[in-house]
Amino acid sequence: MTTPVDFTTFMRNYQNMVFTTAIRLVGNEAQAEDISQEVFLKAYEHFESLQTSVTAGGWLKTVTTNLSLNHLTRYRNRWRFFSEFRRVDDDAGDDEPEIEFASPENFLSGLDADERRTWVEQALAKLPDHQRVPLTLFHFDDMPYEDIAKKLGVSLAKVKTDILRARAALARILARTGTRHETFQP
């Protein structure tokens, strides 16, 4: 158990994590702020048990993820994409070209960590929800494909396809952005 803290200190300790999680999922700063406020309202209601809990950060991240996903489901159009209308029993196979990514040593190598983080956050914001959300859940929240599919209420194949396409779109966005900056060395 940790030493109890006041709610203001508790909130300051976790506000960046909560906001970053929300903005990665909803892609809109104002909506992420609203979600963050809602998360901390819920945290205030449970503060007695959270203030000394070593798992408070995990609880906040889970609440933030759930509220963000609820927001996307409730306030935006349902995700309907061409890939959802494709027949599952189609034996034509996946005709998507394989995407090659630069090695981690070369990709964004001319940038420091803060610049890279900024570029990736800006590029993530440009992705459509159906790509950004599963990509964020997979790479930033370490959620397995199966859990993402259950949480989003879509098929496992759709999750994998959306993540693949999101990676490709992210790479294209970063490559385009990088060609406009002298510090980027593709």
pLDDT for 181 beyond 50: no
173 contacts 126 by C-beta, under 8 angstroms: yes
pLDDT grade for 71, boundaries at 50, 70 and 90: confident
pLDDT digits (tens, 9 = 90+) for 103-157: 444 444 555 566 777 777 888 888 888 899 998 888 888 889 999 999 888 999 9
Question: Residues with Cβ < 8 Å from 18, sequence gap 6 or more?
Answer: 36, 39, 40, 60, 61, 64
Asked, for residue 161, whether it belongs to a domain, the answer is: yes
Asked, for residue 186, whether it belongs to a domain, the answer is: no
Whether residue 87 is found in the same domain as residue 175: yes
Give the domain range for residue 34: 7-75
Q: Look up the CATH number of the domain holding residue 59.
A: 1.10.1740.10
Percent of the chain with pLDDT over 90: 32
* Calpha distance 110→70 (Å, rounded): 38
Asked, for residue 65, whether it belongs to a domain, the answer is: yes
Q: Which among 31, 55, 75 is the end of a domain?
A: 75
pLDDT digits (tens, 9 = 90+) for 152-174: 889 999 999 999 998 888 888 87
Q: Which among 75, 98, 121 is the end of a domain?
A: 75
Asked, for residue 1, whether it belongs to a domain, the answer is: no
pLDDT digits (tens, 9 = 90+) for 82-107: 333 333 444 444 444 444 444 444 44
Whether residue 132 is found in the same domain as residue 52: no
How many of the other CB atoms lie within 10 Å of CB of 146?
Answer: 10
